[in-house]
């Protein structure tokens, strides 16, 4: 079992969810986060006052998947999140080992609990 | 029309309480239903400006401090009202003590402020209308010390400021004090000359503006200023506040005619034109200079325009309003984006830059633009004298007052508390729930 964490641009979320659906990965948790990469964000101007090094809005996806769906999910996220041929800010995908998974309703564990 | 009559018309707000001058008025004053109806509405509109200001400022600060700003504005509505009826009105409009201040005894606890006529409206309505100005003027200063002033110190400072800075200035401009020379003249104004200040350019905006500058200097900068200050947490609130201010200002300006007549109508129109022009100009400046016009810029411009027309609205033409709008926006823009960063003071919400400086512009420019008086360098110099007197008096007195309150109460919250946020620290409240 693996746990996928992906940080993407907020405007790519719909596209990524579509691609995940096409890859038969339906389960997902989505949160709004703030973040920045090595470029240290974009400068914003307020009443003439320039603010540097600010955090930018991002969207985080978290998906628990069984082994056979890892590549499909990662591929779906990649193709949905990439802007044109690839731009700064497209994001990152982290794949973590998942130790255990429980379905609360039925008490199932393991790959059956993940479901997809 | 003699110069004196022109002067009295153009400073129509200089209404002296009947109680002190009853023997000199020839014909008994009669209450006009139309004037009274309008002034009741205007009074309500001016009060609405303070919650409007609260949201304007509230949206511009960080979310951890929004309640503290709203609280301070609402406390002004409560505290200044009580002070006003006890002694504030009397200090402003009571029997003049040498032109400096009104006697606190004349209308102590609203003595002799009843329903009989003062001009063409009930005396108590005039006092109510003026009271709303006394609420919003100290509230304006909040913008300068936002996010770091102790609530207790704020209350004490604001209460004292009302009595020793607002009251004298109000008396000088509208209560029969220094800003009008009258028959024999005084140290500031020659006989039969007077400063034009229809709705409070000096009394409200320059007054609060210079006090704000003093507060910014005495309190010092917020931690993290200027590079690590978070942006406005809720610009929609700020826009809502600006909208309420714009509409409320019609009561502020057109209501200062104290009558439902042509001058009031013209005051409304020129107020509107000036606000609109200034908003447009600020947005254009941003578009050219920074590449994008912002909503914060538009509302800042609008407020600058409203400030600039305040002293001038009884005397300006629509053409004059256009000029005042352009000047107000440009000058305020420069003070906010160039002068403030250059000099380094943390006037958090630009009270001096917008209210102070646009007020200075409007108060002096009307000397050249007045259509009721004699426009020209002579009147502009008279205007300048009233502006300089305001800046010197309030600058010094506010500074001293701040230092005194600092000695006794301490003005600033502790460092850690400033980071945690005033809402939790001073009010044990949270503005927004997170989960539900």
C-beta separation of B73 from B51 below 8 A: yes
Looking at residues B371-375, what average pLDDT do you find? Answer: 92
Looking at residues A89-112, what average pLDDT do you find? Answer: 94
Q: Is B341 on the interface with A (CB under 8 A)?
A: yes
Q: Which of B226, B231, B338 is the closest to A44 by Cβ?
A: B231
Interface with B, mutate which of A40, A48, A50, A57 (most B CBs under 10 A)? A48
Whether B430 maps to a domain, the answer reads: no
pTM of the model: 0.90
Q: E strands of A48-98, at which residues?
A: 49-51, 56-65, 91-97
CATH code of the domain containing B346? 1.10.3430.10
Residue A52: list chain B partners with CB under 8 A: 227
Q: Which residue of B has its CA nearest to A48?
A: B337
Query: How many structural domains is chain A composed of?
Result: 1
Nearest-Cα distance to chain A for B253, in Å, is: 27
Whether B115 maps to a domain, the answer reads: yes
Share of chain A above pLDDT 70, in %: 94
Domain of B259, in residue numbers: 3-13+32-422
Looking at residues B17-25, what average pLDDT do you find? Answer: 44
Nearest-Cα distance to chain A for B28, in Å, is: 53
- Phi, psi (degrees; rounded to nearest 5) at B265: -65, -45
pLDDT, tens only, B396-414: 999 999 999 999 999 999 9
Whether B111 maps to a domain, the answer reads: yes
What is the C-alpha to C-alpha distance for residues B324 and B370, in angstroms, rounded to an integer? 11
Contact B290 A46 (CB under 8 A): no
pLDDT, tens only, B52-100: 999 999 999 999 999 999 999 999 999 999 999 999 999 999 999 999 9
Q: Is B295 on the interface with A (CB under 8 A)?
A: no
Share of chain B above pLDDT 90, in %: 90
Q: Is B290 on the interface with A (CB under 8 A)?
A: yes
Sorting pLDDT into bands at 50, 70 and 90, what band is A37?
confident
Contact A48 B337 (CB under 8 A): yes
Domain of A49, in residue numbers: 2-114
Q: What is the pLDDT of residue B378?
A: 95
What is the C-alpha to C-alpha distance for residues B127 and B19, in angstroms, rounded to an integer? 13
What's the ipTM?
0.81
Contact A46 B300 (CB under 8 A): no
Query: How many structural domains is chain B composed of?
Result: 1
Q: What is the pLDDT of residue A46?
A: 76
CATH code of the domain containing A50? 3.30.70.120
Contact A48 B294 (CB under 8 A): no
Longest dimension (CA), chain A: 58
């Amino acid at each position: 079992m693996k746990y996928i964490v992906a940080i993407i641009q907020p405007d790519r979320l719909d596209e990524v969810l579509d691609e995940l659906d096409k890859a038969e990965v339906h389960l997902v948790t989505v949160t709004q986060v703030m973040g920045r990469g090595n470029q240290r964000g974009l400068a914003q101007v307020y009443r003439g006052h320039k603010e540097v090094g600010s955090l930018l809005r991002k969207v985080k996806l978290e998906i628990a998947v069984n082994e056979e769906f890892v590549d499909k999910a990662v591929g779906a996220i990649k193709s949905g999140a990439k802007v044109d041929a690839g731009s700064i800010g497209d994001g990152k995908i982290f794949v973590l080992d998942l130790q255990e998974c429980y379905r609360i309703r039925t008490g199932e564990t393991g790959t059956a609990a993940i479901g997809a | 029309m003699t110069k004196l009559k022109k002067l009295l018309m153009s400073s129509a707000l200089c209404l002296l309480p009947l109680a002190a001058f009853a023997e000199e008025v020839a014909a008994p004053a009669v209450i006009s239903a139309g004037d009274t109806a309008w002034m009741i509405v205007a009074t309500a509109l001016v009060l609405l400006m303070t919650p409007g200001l609260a949201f304007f400022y509230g949206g511009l600060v960080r979310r951890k401090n929004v309640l503290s700003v709203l609280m301070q504005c609402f406390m002004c509505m409560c505290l200044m009202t009580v002070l006003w009826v006890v002694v504030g009105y009397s200090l402003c409009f009571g029997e003049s003590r040498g032109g400096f201040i009104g006697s606190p005894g004349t209308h102590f606890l609203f003595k002799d402020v009843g329903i009989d006529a003062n001009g063409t409206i009930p005396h108590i309505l005039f006092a109510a209308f003026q009271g709303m100005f006394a609420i919003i003027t100290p509230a304006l200063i909040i913008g300068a010390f936002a996010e770091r002033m102790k609530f207790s110190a704020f209350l004490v400072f604001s209460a004292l400021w009302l009595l020793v800075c607002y009251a004298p200035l109000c008396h000088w401009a509208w209560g029969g004090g220094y800003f009008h020379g009258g028959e024999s003249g005084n140290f500031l104004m020659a006989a039969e000359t007077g400063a034009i200040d229809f709705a409070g350019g000096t009394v409200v905006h320059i007054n609060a503006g210079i006090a704000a500058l003093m507060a910014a200097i005495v309190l010092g900068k917020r931690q993290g200023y200027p590079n690590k200050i978070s942006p406005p947490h809720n610009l929609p609130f700020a826009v809502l506040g600006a909208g309420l201010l714009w509409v409320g200002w019609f009561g502020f300006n057109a209501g200062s005619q104290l009558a439902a007549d042509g001058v009031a109508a013209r005051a409304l129109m020129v107020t509107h034109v000036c606000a609109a022009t200034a908003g447009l100009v600020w947005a254009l400046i941003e578009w050219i200079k920074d590449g994008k016009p912002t909503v914060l810029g538009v509302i800042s411009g609008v407020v600058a325009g409203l400030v600039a027309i305040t002293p001038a609205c009884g005397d300006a033409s629509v053409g004059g309003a256009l000029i005042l709008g352009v000047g107000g926006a440009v000058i305020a823009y420069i003070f906010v984006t160039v002068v403030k960063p250059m000099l380094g003071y943390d006037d958090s919400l630009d009270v001096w830059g917008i209210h102070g400086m646009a007020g200075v512009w409007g108060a002096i420019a009307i000397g050249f633009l007045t259509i009721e008086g004699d426009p020209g360098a002579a009147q502009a110099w008279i205007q300048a004298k009233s502006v300089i007197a305001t800046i010197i008096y309030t600058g010094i007195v506010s500074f001293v007052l701040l230092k005194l309150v600092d000695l006794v109460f301490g003005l600033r919250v502790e460092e850690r508390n400033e980071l945690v946020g005033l809402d939790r620290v001073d009010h044990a409240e949270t503005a927004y729930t997170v989960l539900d």
